[in-house]
Amino acid sequence: MSQDNVVVGVDGGAGALRAVRWAARECAADAETLVLVHALGYRAGTEPRDTEEVLSAAVTAARTSAAGVKIRRRPERGNPVAVLAAAGDSARLIVLGSNGATDVAASMLGSVGHRVAAHARCPVVIVPLSAEPACDRGAVVVGLAPGRAGRAALRFALAHAARRGDPVEGVWAMQNADGARSTASRAVLPPELRSILAEQPQVPFRLRRIDADPAAALTTTGSDAALLVLGCHHSDEPWSTRLGPVPTALLSRAALPVVLVGCAAR
C-alpha cells in the first residue's frame, strides 16, 4: 500500500459513514485511493455486523460524495486498533468518525479513536457527527506549540492548505492549562516554528494570540474554519489513550474535523 491513500475505519454507524464521505472528498481532490477498513468486532459490546453489508454501505456513501473516487475494500480480522494503526503505517491519513460524546456505547471517539490516534504513525482525522458535509474549504486552524508534535502539526496544516489554496490561522495561547500566563507566549514564535512557516511562504498565515488556555482558545475558532490541527502524544503501549490534555479536551466538543498529528507521524 502506497502513501497516496487515505484509510477509513468503517463499522456501519452514522459517524463512520460521515467520516467516509469526508475522506472520499479528500481523496478525490488529490486523486488518492480511499481504503475502507472493516475490522470484525469494531463496536465494543455489540455483535459484528455483516462485513459485506458494512463495506457496501461505505462504498455507497463514498460515491455519493465523490462519484469518481478510487476505492479499495479491506475486510480484516483482529483488534480494530491494531488493524487500523497498521493500515496507517503506509497511508497518508487515517480517518475515523465520532458518534458524539453522548453515545458512549457506540462511540469510536471514546475507545478506538483515541487509541488509534495515540499509536498511528500518520495523522489521524476525527470527523464529528455534527460536521457539515460540504464544509471542506476554509481556513485551516492549527494549535501552535513547541516540540516535535507541535512542529509536525504546523507542517501538516501548511501542506494541507497549500494543496487547497486555503489560509492557515495559527492559534498561540497566552496561558498554560493551569491558568498561569505562559512566559514563552510573551515573545514571538519560537525559531523552530518560524522556520517551518518559511517552508511554505505562499500560504497565507495569520497568527492569533489569545489570552486563554489552549483548549478554550481553540474552541473559539471561527465559523469559516474547515479543519483543526493539533499535535498529540504518541505511545508504544498498546492500551494507551494518552493524547495530551488539549486534544483530549477538544475532541469531545469540536464541531469540525480534528487532525491529530503525533510526534511519531511521518
pLDDT tens column, 97-151 = 986 543 333 344 446 888 898 888 899 999 987 655 555 678 999 999 888 999 9
Say yes or no to pLDDT of 96 above 90. Answer: yes
All structural domains of the chain with their residue ranges: 5-127, 139-262
Residue-level pLDDT at 254: 80
Residue-level pLDDT at 103: 39
Residue-level pLDDT at 49: 54
Residue 18 banded pLDDT, cuts 50, 70, 90? very high
Select the highest-mean-pLDDT range: 71-85, 105-119, 238-252. 71-85
Say yes or no to pLDDT of 168 above 90. Answer: yes
Residue 2 banded pLDDT, cuts 50, 70, 90? low
Residue-level pLDDT at 186: 43
What's the CATH code, domain 5-127? Answer: 3.40.50.620
Look up the pTM and report it.
0.86
Greater confidence (47 vs 74) lies with 74
Task: Say if 5-127 and 139-262 have the same CATH topology.
Answer: yes
Residue 225 banded pLDDT, cuts 50, 70, 90? confident
Among 7-11, 16-20, 108-112, 134-138, the least confident range: 108-112
Q: What percent of the chain has pLDDT over 90?
A: 45
Residue-level pLDDT at 56: 95
For residue range 187-213, list pLDDT tens digits in order.
Answer: 468 899 999 999 999 999 999 888 888
- Angstrom distance (rounded) from CA 144 to CA 31: 30
What's the CATH code, domain 139-262? Answer: 3.40.50.620
Q: What percent of the chain has pLDDT over 70?
A: 79
Instruction: Find the mean pLDDT for residues 55-78.
Output: 94
